[in-house]
């Protein structure tokens, strides 16, 4: 399990810098390859699709991710479908990626492993 998962989010200030390419590449090494960096409307985001046997399992995972998001005050986009959940992390207030997003991606993997 990634060391990142042992961390908690820091308060992300609106003037915090977004991660640069090198910082992203370095943090990606601490995450499973399933996580991809995507860019939407100029905003870099961290995204992974999780697969499940049915909708009930997908929904239970969705709610479990929602719990950690609430506990950290840092929230993903969650697309819940039959057998799949797409989880996307980015820091809204800085319109990009912050270390918090990588921490929460690692925490998301931990939740998946516990399902």
Binding-site ranges for ligand H2B (CB under 6 A): 12, 73-75, 91-93
- Token pair of 114 as six digits: 């516990």
CA 89/CA 9 separation, integer angstroms: 13
Q: Which residues contact 110 (CB under 8 A, 6 or more apart)?
A: 1, 5
CA 111/CA 13 separation, integer angstroms: 27
Residue 83: CB minimum distance to ligand H2B, A: 25
CB-nearer residue toward ligand H2B: 14 or 53: 14
Residue 107: CB minimum distance to ligand H2B, A: 13
CB-nearer residue toward ligand H2B: 73 or 83: 73
CB-nearer residue toward ligand H2B: 104 or 112: 104
């Amino acid at each position: 399990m990634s060391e990142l998962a042992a961390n908690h989010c820091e308060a992300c200030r609106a003037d915090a810098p977004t991660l640069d390419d090198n910082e992203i590449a370095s943090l990606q090494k601490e995450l499973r390859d399933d996580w991809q960096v995507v860019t939407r409307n100029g905003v870099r985001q961290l995204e992974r699709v999780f697969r499940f046997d049915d909708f009930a399992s997908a929904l239970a995972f969705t709610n479990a991710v929602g719990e950690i998001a609430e506990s950290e005050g840092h929230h993903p986009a969650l697309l819940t479908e039959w057998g799949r959940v797409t989880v996307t992390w980015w820091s809204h207030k800085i319109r990009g990626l912050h270390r918090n997003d990588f921490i929460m991606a690692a925490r998301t993997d931990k939740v998946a492993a516990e399902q």
